């Protein structure tokens, strides 16, 4: 009887400790980036003549330089779905200036899942290797020419059957290398398909490794059973950075239309953070376990209508693709992509050190 009582008491203590830990994790959500966003200077604006630059992510290499992987394409902003390639630029600081080095990945051509375009990269370093996550698409068995692809630019899926097919065939994949300069070996299949809280497509990957050694992947897709044009963010988990990933039933965000998540694990706060864009602002979500997400206590990171106040040369029509570069467990740089009337470019904005 005494042993049973002792066992029951121990269970109650463990449950109480678990609740206390969760409470502590919740109270640790004190990251506030809104007042730490620095001024934009010329070095923080990455423009390239004749190209639309978009969607960058940064990693520090073994050469102690900073490496930016980003999307670029020519001719028409809406050519991202038909002509984007992933390029590599280098800087001595995470906020620039950046120098183009090489084009890393392009569409592989007919017969591959990533036949057309390579877009929205995220560069990561896990277990001694570099992982370059990206999205691509294909036209299935449809015969098409380069001109037919270009003719879809700016058209909606309702206006173009080919554009509709290209949108619906978008998936996320990964290329792997032992060196930041390649060569890159691509997997021959996407790493995740739509299911659970998303349908139609799996795009715009964000990934982080948790303290449990597992890999947490966020992807975007269409919201199920929704007539309006709303996208959900979903979370999938794997024991390996290349999958297989198991989709979780509970979405990360499904109460508003958001895009372009980037993800990191804060070792000091013991929390996952995700940054996204919601059309008029960049915001944060937070999770203690990588599965259950909520808005961060200090959700807003940067408002689109305030970006010129910190030095942006133009008021953007669009401000998307946010990414937080973390060094020595502290956010140091905010990346975001902006579109103006005639061009698009990447901002690599310094984040001021915390005063706490």
The predicted pLDDT at position 269 comes to 96
The predicted pLDDT at position 71 comes to 98
What is the model's pTM? 0.92
Q: Where are the beta strands (DSSP E) in 138-230?
A: 171-177, 185-186, 199-209, 215-222
75-113 pLDDT, tens digit each: 899 999 999 999 999 999 999 999 999 999 999 999 999
C-alpha to C-alpha distance for 47 and 70, rounded to whole angstroms: 12
The predicted pLDDT at position 228 comes to 82
| Average pLDDT, rounded, for the chain | 92
CA nearest 263: which of 176, 133, 88? 133
Instruction: Report the topology of domain 35-350.
Output: Tachylectin-2; Chain A (2.115.10)
Residue 330, classified by CB atoms within 10 Å of its CB into exposed (0-12), middle (13-18) or buried (19+), is: exposed
- Taking 80 as the threshold, does the pLDDT of residue 18 lie above it? no
Quote the distance between the C-alpha of residue 11 and its chain's center.
Answer: 40
The predicted pLDDT at position 318 comes to 96
Residue 256: band (very low, low, confident or very high) from pLDDT cuts 50, 70, 90: confident
Other CB atoms within a 10 A radius of the CB of residue 126 amount to 15
The predicted pLDDT at position 356 comes to 65
C-alpha to C-alpha distance for 307 and 334, rounded to whole angstroms: 12
C-alpha to C-alpha distance for 302 and 281, rounded to whole angstroms: 6
C-alpha to C-alpha distance for 305 and 271, rounded to whole angstroms: 29
The predicted pLDDT at position 26 comes to 55
23-43 pLDDT, tens digit each: 345 569 999 999 999 999 999
- Taking 60 as the threshold, does the pLDDT of residue 56 lie above it? yes
Q: In what order do the strands lie in the sheet with 330-339?
A: 45-46, 344-350, 330-339, 318-327
Q: Is 174 helix (H, G, I), strand (E, B) or coil?
A: strand
Distances, alpha carbon 109 to alpha carbons 51, 106, 236, in Å = 22, 9, 28
Q: Which helix (H) or strand (E) holds 302?
A: strand 294-303
**Where along the chain do its domains lie?**
35-350
* 239: alpha, beta or left? (left if phi > 0; alpha if psi -120 to 50): alpha
Beta-sheet pairing, 129-137 with 318-327: unpaired
The predicted pLDDT at position 355 comes to 75
CA nearest 296: which of 310, 314, 307, 282? 282
Beta-sheet pairing, 199-209 with 215-222: antiparallel
C-alpha to C-alpha distance for 211 and 287, rounded to whole angstroms: 13
CA nearest 171: which of 207, 117, 106? 117
The predicted pLDDT at position 27 comes to 66
The predicted pLDDT at position 25 comes to 55
Residue 313: HSE in the Cβ half-sphere, 13 Å Cα cutoff: 15
Residue 354: band (very low, low, confident or very high) from pLDDT cuts 50, 70, 90: confident
The predicted pLDDT at position 21 comes to 42
- DSSP symbol at 255: S
- Taking 60 as the threshold, does the pLDDT of residue 128 lie above it? yes
Q: Which helix (H) or strand (E) holds 338?
A: strand 330-339
Residue 76: partners with Cβ closer than 8 Å, 6 or more residues away: 150, 153, 154
């Amino acid at each position: 009887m005494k042993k049973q009582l002792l066992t029951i008491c121990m269970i109650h203590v463990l449950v109480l400790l678990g609740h206390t830990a969760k409470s502590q994790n919740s109270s640790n959500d004190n990251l506030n980036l809104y007042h730490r966003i620095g001024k934009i200077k010329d070095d923080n604006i990455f423009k390239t003549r004749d190209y639309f630059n978009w969607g960058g992510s940064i990693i520090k290499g073994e050469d102690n330089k900073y490496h930016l992987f980003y999307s670029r394409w020519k001719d028409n902003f809406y050519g991202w779905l038909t002509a984007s390639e992933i390029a590599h630029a280098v800087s001595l600081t995470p906020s620039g200036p950046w120098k183009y080095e090489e084009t890393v990945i392009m569409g592989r051509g007919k017969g591959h899942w990533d036949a057309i375009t390579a877009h929205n990269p995220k560069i990561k370093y896990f277990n001694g290797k570099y992982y370059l996550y990206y999205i691509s698409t294909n036209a299935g068995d449809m015969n098409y020419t380069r001109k037919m692809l270009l003719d879809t630019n700016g058209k909606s899926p309702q206006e173009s059957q080919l554009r509709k097919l290209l949108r619906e065939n978008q998936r996320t994949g990964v290329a792997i290398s032992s060196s930041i300069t390649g060569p890159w070996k691509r997997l021959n299949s996407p790493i995740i398909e739509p299911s659970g809280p998303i349908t139609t497509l799996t795009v715009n990957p964000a990934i982080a490794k948790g303290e449990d050694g597992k890999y947490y992947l966020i992807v975007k897709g269409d919201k199920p059973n929704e007539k309006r044009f709303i996208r959900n963010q979903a979370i999938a988990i794997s024991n390996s950075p290349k999958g297989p990933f198991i989709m979780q039933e509970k979405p990360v965000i499904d109460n508003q239309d958001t895009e372009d998540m980037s993800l990191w694990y804060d070792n000091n706060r013991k929390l996952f953070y995700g940054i996204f864009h919601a059309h008029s602002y960049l915001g944060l979500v937070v999770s203690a376990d990588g599965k259950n997400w909520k808005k961060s206590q200090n959700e807003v990171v940067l408002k689109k209508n305030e970006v010129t106040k910190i030095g942006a040369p133009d008021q953007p029509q669009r401000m998307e693709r946010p990414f937080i570069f973390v060094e020595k467990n502290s956010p140091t740089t905010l990346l975001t992509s902006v579109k103006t009337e005639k061009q698009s470019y990447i901002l690599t904005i310094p984040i001021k050190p915390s005063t706490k």
